């Protein structure tokens, strides 16, 4: 394979692992401030989430408080109604955050499995990470589209 062909293959492979920073709304972060939200792989906004696949969610935020724990709470908002979305691991201290949490920057990293039984639809994901006082270290909302 010549250098030009190798470069094309490498560029295409990089596209499969590229994450576009997700446009999000802060929905009430009281104990921290979000800097960036990435979903990988996500090539478009809104992210198209394919049934049967899992996605990496990375939220870079700054904690304004100290906390011994952190817990993720996720809802899909469908027609204005929040529907609970269970995570395999809701413990933020096991998702890239070293606890106890201090007043500094963190990268919360977890997976978002999209089950094949989910209906194809557009919705808004509401993702909260709560401190040990049940306040939001971050609360973000971002649109997604579940596709077959």
pLDDT of residue 79: 92
pLDDT above 60: residue 12: no
> How far, rounded to the nearest angstrom, does the alpha carbon of residue 27 sit from its chain's CA centroid?
14
Give the confidence band of 2 by pLDDT, cuts at 50, 70, 90.
very low
When pLDDT is averaged across residues 29-48 and rounded to a whole number, the result is 94
Domain ranges of the chain: 19-147
Q: What is the pLDDT of residues 120-137, one digit of tens each?
A: 999 999 999 999 999 999
Measure the CA–CA gap between 94 and 109, rounded to whole angstroms.
9
Q: Is the pLDDT of residue 138 over 90?
A: yes
Q: For residues 136 and 130, is the Cβ–Cβ distance under 8 A?
A: yes
* Average pLDDT in the chain: 88
The domain made up of 19-147 is a member of CATH 2.60.40.770: yes
* Residue 76, beta-bridge partner list: 83, 125
Q: Residue 103: what pLDDT?
A: 97
Predicted confidence at residue 6, as pLDDT, reads 34
């Amino acid at each position: 394979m010549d250098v030009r062909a190798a470069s094309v293959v490498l560029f295409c492979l990089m596209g499969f692992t590229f994450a576009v920073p997700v446009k999000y709304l802060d929905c009430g972060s009281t104990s921290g401030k979000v800097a960036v939200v990435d979903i990988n792989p996500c090539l478009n906004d809104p992210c198209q989430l394919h049934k049967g696949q899992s996605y990496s969610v990375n939220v870079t935020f700054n904690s304004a408080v100290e906390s011994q724990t952190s817990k993720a709470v996720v809802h899909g908002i469908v027609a204005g109604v929040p529907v609970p979305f269970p995570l395999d691991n809701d413990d933020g201290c096991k998702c890239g955050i070293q606890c106890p949490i201090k007043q500094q920057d963190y990268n919360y990293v977890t997976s978002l499995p999209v089950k094949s039984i989910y209906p194809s639809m557009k919705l808004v994901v509401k993702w909260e990470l709560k401190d040990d006082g049940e306040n939001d270290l971050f609360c973000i909302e971002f649109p997604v589209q579940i596709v077959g």
